[in-house]
Amino acid sequence: MRKQIIAANWKMNKDVNETSEFIYAFQNEMKGVVTAAEVVICPPFIALDTAFELLQGSPFKLGAQNLHFEEDGAFTGEISARMLKSLGAHYVIVGHSERRQYFGETDEIVAKKVKKALSADLKVILCVGESLAERDGGVTEKVLERQVKAALAGLTEQQLASLVIAYEPIWAIGTGRNATPQQAQDAHAFIRKTVAGMLGEHASAALTIQYGGSVKPENAVELLSQPDVDGALVGGASLKADSFAKIVKSSPKEIPTAH
Ligand code: PGA
């Protein structure tokens, strides 16, 4: 059985007050809703504390958007895994394409962050995905394979159980242009095959693979019904409580049996 996870990645949006407003509104939207999906909300660092307090007693989990790979020390402006843990974070997003693109995160850095987060008992949402030039150049699979292999190198099957992969084609992020359900399915199946080659069929069959990139209420049902799409990482459409709730409600109620 594979867990479905719908996560909100707010990026650099919402201050503390806006975070509170969202959480009240979202909990209202979700009253009485039965879903098999795990819901994760990833506000900016400054709102983690407030979000944690407001989410107490709810089934919704808290996630952060980034961490540093060192334990602690002279790294001005950075946040460690232990700090995130102390704020009640359950998940952390690692290797988002914006971090790779604008903040110079290499596969090597991403791998270090994955290990650090897991060692601190944080669950990881690892982002991978190709650029438009890479897709047009026919190297999508090559890029995905490189990113997955680098980030998962040396992990055990047990560690993999605390990791989620988000397939996020860069050309679909924030552009309004989502991957087609078939494009998503193909990439997810390829990622699953790559993980199977590293850690075995059993581990890869249980791995949650989210799709991210212009997910919205209008396309969520179709994307989420693909056999290898086990949830969504949502940016823009997660900023409004009603649209994020609609996406959560789009996830299939029954968890498909892993195949
Ligand atoms: P988007 O962002 O939904 O705004 O395309 C997704 C993401 O970057 O995680």
Q: Ligand 1 pocket test: which of 130, 164, 215, 239 has the largest number of ligand atoms within 8 Å of its C-beta?
A: 215
Q: Is the CB of 208 under 6 A from ligand 1?
A: no
Q: Is residue 9 lining ligand 1, measured as CB closer than 6 Å?
A: yes
128, pLDDT greater than 80: yes
Query: What type of residue sits at position 4?
Result: Q
Which class for 198: exposed (0-12), middle (13-18), buried (19 or more C-beta within 10 A)? middle
Which is the catalytic residue, given 68, 96, 134, 188? 96
pLDDT over 70 (residue 259): no
169 CB under 6 A from ligand 1? no
State whether the beta carbon of 212 lies less than 6 angstroms from ligand 1. Answer: yes
Is residue 256 over pLDDT 80?
A: no
User: Which of 6, 11, 65, 173 most suits a substitution to test ligand 1, by most atoms within 8 Å of the C-beta?
Assistant: 173
On whether the CB atoms of residues 154 and 192 are closer than 8 A, the answer is no
Angle between helices 241-250 and 16-29 (to 10 degrees): 40
Task: Please name which of 186, 255, 250, 240 lies closest in space to residue 23, comparing C-alpha atoms.
Answer: 240
Q: What is the pTM of this model?
A: 0.97
Q: CA-based diameter of the chain, in Å?
A: 48
pLDDT tens-digit profile of 23-52?
999 999 999 998 999 999 999 999 999 999
CA–CA–CA angle 147, 91, 20 (5° rounding): 130
| Unique residue bearing structure tokens 């892993």 | 258
The confidence band for 255, taking pLDDT boundaries of 50, 70 and 90, is low
C-beta 179 within 6 A of ligand 1: no
pLDDT in the model for residue 1? 67
Active site residue 96: yes
Q: Residue 213 has which token pair? A: 């990139």
Q: How confident is the model at residue 252 (pLDDT cuts 50, 70, 90)?
A: confident
Residues 6+ away with beta carbon under 8 Å from 46: 15, 16
Residue nearest to atom 7 of ligand 1 (CA): 235
**H or E segment and range at residue 199:** helix 181-199
Which listed CATH number (3.20.20.70, 3.40.50.2300, 3.40.1670.10, 3.40.50.2000) goes with 5-256?
3.20.20.70
Mean pLDDT for 119-142 is: 98
Are the CB atoms for 74 and 18 separated by under 8 Å?
A: no
Question: Which of 12-26, 89-103, 195-209, 245-259 is predicted least confidently?
Answer: 245-259
Whether residue 202 lies in the annotated active site:
no
